[in-house]
Amino acid sequence: MFDDLRDLYQEVIFDHNRNPRNFRIIPDADRQVEGFNPLCGDRLTLYLKVADHTISDASFQGVGCAISTASVSLMTEIIKGKTEAEAEALFTLFHEITTGKSEQLNLEALGKLAVLAGVREYPARVKCATLAWHTLDAALKNQHNSISTE
């Protein structure tokens, strides 16, 4: 089971790294926040369109390692159509699972993001996976400061 999950994890990471979804600028974005991971050089700008507390569009630009790119690509796919509260709840769940703060792996609740749950076994890679999510958290709070994982 875990070997199958690891294989799926690698396949999805590689796919989203090679072909990131929503890799574009939203010219009329309501929110725009930059995120940076000095540990491995990941840098991204997250763009959101929010109307009536619902994320109607999400995209990003930037450069990063495979895990960082896959994480932001998956995230932008999943948060479209979600309310700000739903996106915030996903951030909390994702952060708890990837950092090991939650011992119970509720992979069903994560949906497609479950493939990134394995980073908890590699502490140096957790910041790569969570950079996009911390940037989203700042955007949801309408903060304009750049976000750093350090």
- Tokens representing residue 55 in the block: 């994320």
Comparing 121 with 86, the larger pLDDT belongs to: 86
All structural domains of the chain with their residue ranges: 2-144
User: What is the per-residue pLDDT for 1?
Assistant: 44
User: What is the per-residue pLDDT for 113?
Assistant: 80
93-97, Cβ contacts within 8 angstroms, sequence gap of 24 or more: 94/130, 94/133, 95/130, 95/133
Rounded to a whole number of angstroms, the CA Rg of the chain reads: 14
Q: Name the pTM for this structure.
A: 0.90
Q: What is the mean pLDDT of the chain?
A: 89
Strands 147-148, 42-51: pairing kind: unpaired
Tens digit of each residue's pLDDT (9 = 90 or more) over 53-64: 999 999 999 999
CATH class entry, domain 2-144? alpha beta
Tens digit of each residue's pLDDT (9 = 90 or more) over 70-109: 999 999 999 999 999 999 999 998 888 888 776 666 667 7
